[in-house]
Structure 1
Amino acid sequence: MAAPAPDFSLAGCWAALEAALRGPCQGQAGRVWFKESSGRNLRGRDWIAPRAALGKLYPRGQVPEDLIERLMSECRHRLYIQSCKQTDSGLVIRLDRPALFMQVLSNLPFYTRTLKAPLAKKKCVILNCVALQGNKGPESLTVSHLRTILLVDHLAVLLRQPGYVVHTTPNLPLKSSVCNFLKLLRVTWPSTRQTISNEGVSNFKKILSESIYTQLGKFETPSDQTHNRLPKDVLFKVHLRQFVKEKGLEGYDANLDMALVQEEALRQIAELQNIVLQEDAEECLVIHVVGCEEEFQQQKIDLLWRILDTSIDRVTQRHLVCGPVKITGESSHINAVHYFQFRRSQMQEASVMKYGNLVQGDSWSEIIGSMTSATIRFELLATAHRSPLNLEVTQAINISTKGTKSGAFVMYNCARLATLFDHFNKSVQQGLYPKFPEISQLNFSALQKEGEWLLLYNYIIPFREVLCQTTQSLSSAKGIRLTISTEIVCKFLVNLSIDFSSYYNHVHILGEPLEHLFNQMFARLQLMKALREVFHSALSTLHITPPNQL
């Protein structure tokens, strides 16, 4: 029998339930339906319209029976509803779980991979990583800088998936030491032999020399000696406060007054403008990803660009500001390079402690490198970007797979899935199990464990919607600051690992090689296959290679 069309989503289900319950005359009285997520509540229901919310629509929160009948008539099959009942808690819905297991597990690509949908119009996003501006060497990068770099790397992947054209800047010199360091963290940064054209910078100098907002400049007539009052390496002194006031701009720091313009600032703007001019996108969003320590200076760059080219009206500038990273422990003053080396040495020691002399050769070097990258990314990205981050760097902290909030724990559980399928495939080769049957031959009513539905309903079904949450705030942002939920994927993977680990520890997936047990084993393996694809897809947005062994 052909599988139904892969069109079930939690967002679509919620929208349909809201519309069905409100009716044409109920208006917008706040949210009514809520998805359950805890294991305890999922034992008996999947959606609930609490009595308090219903009380705003119906007397005493009692939904008319004819409306419930109509809801079931219109939505039962489309939304996979098994029952809809009024209880003391409110109106509760339980979904047809075997049917949804079949629906989802028969259409894994739809639920576990991001399917690019063409945007109505071409949209370009430029991620300007301020920490890398100025061609600094890796030794000058702080851990706070590293936080912004990894955030840009992650965000670029998430934005490309729905179809945005994404550029990351600055373009670093080919084979620079910074690029080599970033490769250790699985970051491939754009690099080229070409440099920013001096023509663009020269044009900017000419514009500023003639601008009404420029107070002092080193490009005035020889008889004018005022340039001697400018500090060394400063080309112009520009009135920013006057510009902000005249243009009615809001959201900028009230202390912004004068900008001392150096050539490096003009080069940064020239590179950004060059990308904008090369793209034919109808909209171009420039996101300055910056640590809070450099936010004030980057606002000056933003305003200076507006002064230099007021004709680019299709460009919107936003600032994504990262909170400070506070390092505690005996190594509280380390830079980004030392931090990476410290974590790698800890991962090396932990691996040797667990596997002994096996830890050697290129394959283990790759595993340790990948685990180190995962550990650092989860440490720096699992906290909301705007929040301060406390990082303990001490030998007393053991990087192990037991800390449920760590990248190592996520990688460990991903590796458990790889080992599970490795054992299954070897057992098939040995003749213990038959080959994996067609999905249509499986009876998913065998999936009765509480953890099985929780994994499908909380992680596999909503996975694509989770990835989309990151980009939802781009079009609705107000002011110059942008807040994006860049921590979502890390938190999702941590929570998935916790619930998967609990299930895996209590359920024996590869059962006895008895024919009457094969259906349940294959149904569980298909569920595990879906989880494996979710792990891999999510980790790919972080440029983390999934491990293939424990």
Structure 2
Amino acid sequence: MEAEARCAAPLRVFEALRLLGTALQSSSAPSTVWFKESSQKNLRSRDFLVPRGTLKNSFPDGEVPADVIEKLRSLAAPGLPPIKNCLQSEAGLLVQLDRPAVFRQVLKDFTPYLRPPSSADSGPDVVILNCAPLHSNKALEALRLSHLRAVLIADHLAEVLTLQGKHVYRVPAAFCTEVEGFLSQLGISWPSSADAPALEETVSCFKDLLRDCDEDTGDVDSAQSPGAIRVQLKTSAEKHNICLQGYDPNLDFFLVNEDDLRHIARLQRSVQAAQTSPCTVLHIVSCEEEFHQQKLDLLWRLVLPSTGDVAQKHLVCGRVKVVNSASAVTCSQYFQMRKSQMLEASVMKYGDSVQGESWDEIINSLTSAAIKFELLATPHRSQVNLNLEETNITTKGTKSGAFVMYNCARLATMFDSYNSAVSQGIYPEFPPARELSYSSLCEEGEWLLLFNYIMMLPEVLSQSGQMSSTSPGIRVTANTEVICKFLVSLSMDFSCYYNRVHILGEPLPHLFSRMFARLQLMKGVQSVLHSALKTLHIMPLTQI
């Protein structure tokens, strides 16, 4: 029964690192650190490694006792890939996996590898994603590129956090219909509903609470800020014992208008809708508006002291700078430029056939992919530099979203060719995955695709939504760039393999076994591509 459980459990790379580390630590080697190999060169001889220099910190002269090596060879546990060998070399202590067994266990059912691993994470089960730019933009022309970046990050986080089992609420649920139409072109379907009349009642109630909260608050009679209420944030926060660690020290007076009050009213309504404690409100905001969002954070705490039970965190997105442009570029201009470039590149490659409804969908999909990879492949806290004349973004440049889409199309075309050949009687029907022989998968590129990508997607999905505090204050960081980097790297390695290996070979019976094993591996690669792209709301291409 124990052996069956081990075989049934999905193989986890990080679980393997943990188990190998635990096994070595119990041998009086507390400082040893295992690494997963990823380069094709190193994977020729090993899959996991403790470098020799690290071994010297734990074992005399860096020599691992034979009984410890034997213990590692025989190590077996649920989630641990079967081990073929453990030995010491000039590089250090290395582990080689039983690759045919790993291929068999993963490829007979790769669906567990298309989602994050289940974990006992103690983080909040409810996350309210507050996409700050969507509150104040009342026209598409007002939506700046830095706003668009924040929206894309919020949309991606909503997907990966949901995959991780979190209950995600998106705020605001009502915003400019013109902006909503633009985002739909990028595949973003942000939940939308009309603000209920009760929202205005809440705003009115908030005004009364602010006026009554202390003597430093009062109405402002100004032509520039009609109906605004002046709040002395720092003084009021200190009176209410609100910790200001992590907030900008320049926070002082805040001229609160009705839009600000609607903003916190929507947040309050989402907290009430969640009806769960604890929950975290994650404010996703561009760096230009971070200061204002901190004011809103404190304002919410002042108006409703009970909000102190709700953790508020700020994920700040770096600027988007357009290089070699004398004037500001709007989001709609950016979209149209990239779309025109995609169309032009497609016409140059495919000629007059680039027309009709199917090509419109292809061009729109390529445009969406190009924009999302440009704005999301950089860590969210760093600045993005856009070169709108960059032609590499529209072709098969290996760092572009178009390149990822091109490889999706290659896979789809290959499977179409196989199915067509089956219908003509050239190839036999595809047998069940559990009946395939995977011992023929011995190409270096095949192990690379399985070990670095199919088996690693759960960890990448987990990392993408993982939040880490950079300080004891209110800022958090996330690894929202890892999905784009993962997809580009996968596409590059798949492309190298696809160009070198004939997957659909000659229709000879003695070659079918290897062809089926390779096709099953390609099914896994295709599913990984599609699952990762889904977290970006990018529809993969099926033809090009």
TM-score by length of 1: 0.93
Amino acid at match of 2:106: V
Range that drifts further, 472-481 or 312-321? 472-481
Structure 1 residues 328-386: Cα deviation after superposition (integer angstroms, max 9, x where no partner): 23575210011111111111111222222222222111111111100100000000000
Whole-Å separation in 1 of the counterparts to 2:436 and 2:345: 42
Whole-Å separation in 1 of the counterparts to 2:120 and 2:127: 15
| Map of 1:223 onto structure 2 | none
* Residue 398 (structure 1) shift: 4.8
User: Partner of 1:512: helix, strand, or coil?
Assistant: coil
Whole-Å separation in 2 of the counterparts to 1:19 and 1:548: 45
Whole-Å separation in 1 of the counterparts to 2:337 and 2:81: 51
Whole-Å separation in 1 of the counterparts to 2:325 and 2:181: 27
User: Partner of 1:49: helix, strand, or coil?
Assistant: strand
Contact in 2 for aligned 1:6/1:110 (Cα 8 Å): no
Amino acid at match of 1:411: M
| Map of 2:502 onto structure 1 | 508
* Residue 316 (structure 1) shift: 0.6
Contact in 1 for aligned 2:124/2:280 (Cα 8 Å): no
User: Partner of 1:437: helix, strand, or coil?
Assistant: coil
Range that drifts further, 65-74 or 267-276? 65-74
Structure 1 residues 262-288: Cα deviation after superposition (integer angstroms, max 9, x where no partner): 111111000100110121222211111
2:238 matches 1:235:
no
Change (3 A) 1:377 1:331: farther
| Map of 1:498 onto structure 2 | 492
Range that drifts further, 483-492 or 182-191? 182-191
Whole-Å separation in 2 of the counterparts to 1:59 and 1:230: 79
* Residue 56 (structure 1) shift: 1.8
Structure 1 residues 14-34: Cα deviation after superposition (integer angstroms, max 9, x where no partner): 01100111116544x3x5111
- Give the number of aligned pairs: 537
* Residue 232 (structure 1) shift: 2.5
Structure 1 residues 81-140: Cα deviation after superposition (integer angstroms, max 9, x where no partner): 101111122111110000000010012111124577898897211111111112411111
User: Partner of 1:289: helix, strand, or coil?
Assistant: strand
User: Partner of 1:163: helix, strand, or coil?
Assistant: coil
User: Partner of 2:305: helix, strand, or coil?
Assistant: coil
Contact in 1 for aligned 2:127/2:280 (Cα 8 Å): yes
* Residue 402 (structure 1) shift: 2.0
* Residue 503 (structure 1) shift: 0.7
Pairing partner for 1:168 from 155, 167, 170: 170
Contact in 1 for aligned 2:210/2:217 (Cα 8 Å): no
| Map of 1:429 onto structure 2 | 423
Q: What RMSD, in angstroms, separates the aligned Cα atoms of the two structures?
A: 2.3
Structure 1 residues 275-330: Cα deviation after superposition (integer angstroms, max 9, x where no partner): 10121222211111111111111110011111111113431111111111110235
Change (3 A) 1:329 1:505: same
Contact in 1 for aligned 2:87/2:94 (Cα 8 Å): yes
Whole-Å separation in 1 of the counterparts to 2:462 and 2:452: 16
Contact in 2 for aligned 1:84/1:92 (Cα 8 Å): yes
Pairing partner for 1:10 from 7, 10, 13: 13
Range that drifts further, 102-111 or 473-482? 473-482
| Map of 1:444 onto structure 2 | 438
Pairing partner for 2:451 from 437, 446, 457: 457
1:283-294 maps to which residues of 2 (within 5 A)?
283-294=278-289
| Map of 2:190 onto structure 1 | 189
Contact in 1 for aligned 2:369/2:538 (Cα 8 Å): yes
Change (3 A) 1:131 1:200: same
Amino acid at match of 2:199: S
Contact in 2 for aligned 1:82/1:96 (Cα 8 Å): yes
Range that drifts further, 254-263 or 17-26? 17-26
Amino acid at match of 2:95: I
Structure 1 residues 160-182: Cα deviation after superposition (integer angstroms, max 9, x where no partner): 11111111111225x81111111
| Map of 2:95 onto structure 1 | 93
Contact in 2 for aligned 1:116/1:161 (Cα 8 Å): no
User: Partner of 1:311: helix, strand, or coil?
Assistant: helix
| Map of 1:84 onto structure 2 | 86
Whole-Å separation in 2 of the counterparts to 1:144 and 1:480: 21
| Map of 1:390 onto structure 2 | 385
Change (3 A) 1:477 1:124: farther
Whole-Å separation in 1 of the counterparts to 2:452 and 2:170: 33
Pairing partner for 1:139 from 141, 145, 148: 141
| Map of 2:70 onto structure 1 | 69
Pairing partner for 1:402 from 375, 396, 401: 396
Segments of structure 1 that go 5 or more residues without pairing to the other structure are 219-226
User: Partner of 1:445: helix, strand, or coil?
Assistant: coil
Whole-Å separation in 2 of the counterparts to 1:137 and 1:512: 58
Whole-Å separation in 2 of the counterparts to 1:12 and 1:277: 38
Pairing partner for 2:262 from 251, 261, 267: 267
| Map of 1:518 onto structure 2 | 512
1:357-376 maps to which residues of 2 (within 5 A)?
357-376=352-371
Pairing partner for 1:21 from 21, 24, 42: 24
| Map of 2:245 onto structure 1 | 250
Range that drifts further, 120-129 or 3-12? 120-129
User: Partner of 1:423: helix, strand, or coil?
Assistant: helix
Pairing partner for 1:304 from 299, 312, 323: 299
1:462-477 maps to which residues of 2 (within 5 A)?
462-473=456-467
Amino acid at match of 1:235: A
Structure 1 residues 198-250: Cα deviation after superposition (integer angstroms, max 9, x where no partner): 221112111111112x52412xxxxxxxx447953252211222245443320
Contact in 2 for aligned 1:405/1:494 (Cα 8 Å): yes
| Map of 2:125 onto structure 1 | 123
Contact in 2 for aligned 1:6/1:107 (Cα 8 Å): no
Whole-Å separation in 1 of the counterparts to 2:527 and 2:85: 31
Whole-Å separation in 1 of the counterparts to 2:316 and 2:451: 34
| Map of 1:48 onto structure 2 | 49
Whole-Å separation in 2 of the counterparts to 1:386 and 1:88: 40
Contact in 2 for aligned 1:32/1:53 (Cα 8 Å): yes
Whole-Å separation in 2 of the counterparts to 1:256 and 1:477: 19
Change (3 A) 1:236 1:374: same
Amino acid at match of 1:70: K
2:374 matches 1:379:
yes
Contact in 2 for aligned 1:114/1:464 (Cα 8 Å): yes
* Residue 414 (structure 1) shift: 0.9
Whole-Å separation in 1 of the counterparts to 2:72 and 2:414: 42
User: Partner of 1:297: helix, strand, or coil?
Assistant: helix
TM-score by length of 2: 0.94
Identity of aligned residues (%): 50
